[in-house]
Amino acid sequence: MSERFERTCDIVKVSDELGLVFGFAMICSKNGEPYVDLQDDVIPERAMLKAAVSFMSTTDRISGDMHAKADGKVVFAFPLTSEIAKALDIQTQTTGLLIAMRPSEAVLNKFKSGEYTGFSIGGIRRVDREL
């Protein structure tokens, strides 16, 4: 069985010089506890890692303007699981998928002005398979 999901994650940095927006596209845990979003969705680290491999393996890696239309590309992604953080000696209270996206100038300006404060992602998850 599959079901659609959407979630929003806060951005952490906008680089005007590079035209990039940095932040978590997916959050798996905060303060050692599974992160539950406003729709009661939880994305386990293993599921995030598999989704990231699939997404970053595509040639498109398209980002959109609030799900309405393609607007840019995801140019960097880093899966920060508890295990990866420990191996790299990174101290963090949040795990998930960190990304940098390069949106159009119009959408970049919405991030810079504060109109957009996070990434909104959507997808389909398979709930009948163990991840």
Q: What is the pLDDT of residues 2-34, one digit of tens each?
A: 444 444 566 678 888 999 999 998 899 999 999
Q: Scan for tokens 């539950």, then name that residue.
A: 36
Q: State the chain's mean pLDDT as an integer.
A: 81
| 83: enclosing H helix or E strand | helix 82-87
Stretch 104-127: mean pLDDT = 77
Q: How far apart are CA 101 and CA 77, in angstroms?
A: 9
pLDDT tens-place string over residues 99-112: 999 988 988 998 88
pTM: 0.80
Give the tens place of pLDDT for each residue, 61-99: 766 665 566 678 888 999 999 999 999 999 999 999 999
Distance of CA 53 to the CA centre of its chain: 13
Give residue 10's pLDDT: 67
Give the pLDDT band (50/70/90) at residue 58. confident
Per-residue confidence (pLDDT) for residue 123, from 0 to 100: 57
Residues 1 and 128: beta-carbon distance below 8 Å? yes
pLDDT exceeds cutoff 60 at 41: yes
Q: How far is CA 38 from the centre of its chain?
A: 15
